[in-house]
Structures are given as C-alpha cells and as structure tokens.
Structure 1
C-alpha cells in the first residue's frame, strides 16, 4: 500500500477529504498529517478520523532534522501540501524528488507566489474582475507555485460573486478533483515501478 504524508496549516478540509477517500480502497493510506500550526483545526479532524497528526515549529523543519527524520522513517510515496503556507525546504525536495505536490486555489501562473493563498487569492480574482478561476495541482520546486503543472480545473466567476463566493466554488473543485488526481499520480508511480522491474 502506498504511503501519503500531508502537510497543512489550517482547517484541513483537503486533508480530511484525502483521508476519507483513501480509507475506502487499498491503493494508499494517509500515514501522517503534519502542521506548522499547533492550534490548526486539521489536528481535530485527524483525531476524529483516527489518523496520526502532529505539529512542528520552524526550527524542526528548517534547522533541526526532526521533520526530515520523520519523513525518512515513513518513506512516503507522495508528500501532499494541502493548504501548507510555509516554503517547503529544498533539502526535502532533494530527498523526495518528484514526490512533493501542492494544490493552489487559482489557475497558475496567475495569482501565484509568496502571500498568494486562501482568501488573498480570491479577493485578487474578484478585484481584477476575472471571468474564471480554478485550482492547480503541481509539483513543488524551490520557488513558490512554479513547479510543473499536473492538473487544472476551472470555474466561471460571475460579476456579482464575492471573494467568499469564489472560495466556495474553488473548494468544490478541490473536493471533487484533488483525491482523484493524487490517486492517478500514485497509480502512475506503481506502473512506472513495474516497468522498471520488467
């Protein structure tokens, strides 16, 4: 069974969605959810779902090797950033090449980069009178929101939509597509491994 580690910073609806989705099959399991926010609601969600979760601080991630050692002990097949607001360390990207993905609440390359997350993105979309927005699932590299795009889905934005309305539309896209895309990535890894062994 494939192993997933999720990084989140806030509410954790995407983490919860992934946990529930993979609990229904035998392809993969969310082994651990990690958060940089000790009071994040994602910790409560994980407790209710009987999924291991823990918080860490900047020192544990960037200076000490605590998070690194944890990941090396689990050897995840995929690391999923689901609303994780800190920059992911380059050392971890080197240790887990092409195994770290992120979901972004806009159609990259638009509305990406430092500070562009959550409601900041949705307010910018409304202020610029965009006709559409959406989600982007992409590989993570050393720069914010610049890794290779794996999948995008869009939704129309009406002139009367508020930032909250846009947030709801984006959330719906995340709930629908994110687990399926993660599943597809894991299945392609499996096929690639089989090809290497034949």
Structure 2
C-alpha cells in the first residue's frame, strides 16, 4: 500500500477529501498531515479522521527538520493540498513524487503570490470565461512542474471571485483524489 503525506496550510477541505477517499481504498493511505500554520483547520480535521499531524515552522523547513520527520513516515507520495510555501529542493531530492493542485489552468495565473483568492481575482480581472484546476508535479519553481491533469469549468456566469472559487473548489473535490489514485495505480503497475 502506498503511503501518502499531505502538506496543507488552511482549512483542509482538499486534505479531508483525500484522506476519506483513501480510507475507502486498498491502494493508498494518508499516513500524516504536515502543516505550517498553528491556526489551520486542517489540524483538527486530520486528527478527527485519525491521521497524525506534524506542525512546523519556516526554520524547521529550512534547517532540514521537516525532511527528517518525513523520513520517519517514508512516504511514496507527497501531496500539497493548499500548502502555501515554496517546497524545498532538499525534500524534492529525497522524495521526487511530489504533486500540487493549482486553482487555475496553468501556465496562466501561476507563480509566486498566485494562490487562493489572488488567482480568482486575477482570472476575473482578465475577463476569462473558463478556468479550472491543474494538478502538476512540483519542481524548484512555483507552478512550473510537469502537468499531470487539468479540468475546466465555465465561469461565464461569475461576477465575483467567490463565485469562481466555488466552482474551482467543486473541481478540486471531484478530481484531486481520483488523480492521486490513478498515479498510485500507475506506479504500482510500472
């Protein structure tokens, strides 16, 4: 069974969807949630689902303490589910199977500072009629890793960033756990 570690910074709705998805599957299991925000809702949500959490600060990340903690869990996959910091190359060197979800159709609306409502406001400001999500591998640069999958939704009827956010969130909930499962199956069959 593949071991998955999630990284999250916020409420954890994507993390919960992934945890619940794999609690019902025999192919993978979420073994821990790493979080950089002591106020994040994901900490309580993961604990409620019986998944251990690891809280860390920027210094822990930069000095290799997070890498050491990750090694104790020995994940096959690391999934960034609303993690807002740049992911360190030192971890990527040891754990190359790291994926992220971005709330837009990359390469548009990606890069440093492009997360959450900032992305949706930019999409709205550019007058886009379609947006979506991008699931991609993580590399040393923000939102530049190889694209695994993209899913679109019409936003022609949206006049607010909140409307766009709701449609994008629905795509995330529907597709992110399934794409992760597909990656696990592909790895198992390779």
Shorter-chain TM-score: which interval? over 0.9
The TM-score with structure 2 as length reference comes to 0.98
2:66 equivalent in structure 1:
67
* Aligned CA-pair RMSD: 0.8
Asked if 1:92 corresponds to 2:91, the answer is: yes
Aligned-residue offset at 1:55: 1.0
**Alpha-carbon displacement from aligned partner over 1:16-64 (angstroms, at most 9, x marks no partner):** 000000001111110000011011000011121111112100111112x
Q: Compared with structure 1, are the counterparts of its residues 169 and 160 closer, same or farther at alpha carbon in structure 2 (3 Å cutoff)? A: closer
Runs of 4+ in 1 over 4 A off after TM superposition: none
Q: Distance in 1 between matches of 2:98 and 2:50?
A: 24
Q: Distance in 2 between matches of 1:127 and 1:70?
A: 41
Q: Distance in 2 between matches of 1:188 and 1:71?
A: 23
Q: Which among 128, 131, 134 is matched to residue 130 of structure 1?
A: 128
2:156 equivalent in structure 1:
158
1:119 equivalent in structure 2:
117
| Preserved CA contact (<8 Å) 2:158 2:164 | no
Alignment of 1:137-176 (within 5 A): 137-176=135-174
Asked if 1:52 corresponds to 2:52, the answer is: yes
User: Number of residue pairs matched?
Assistant: 190
The TM-score with structure 1 as length reference comes to 0.94
Consecutive unaligned residues of structure 1, counting only runs of 5 or more, are 193-198
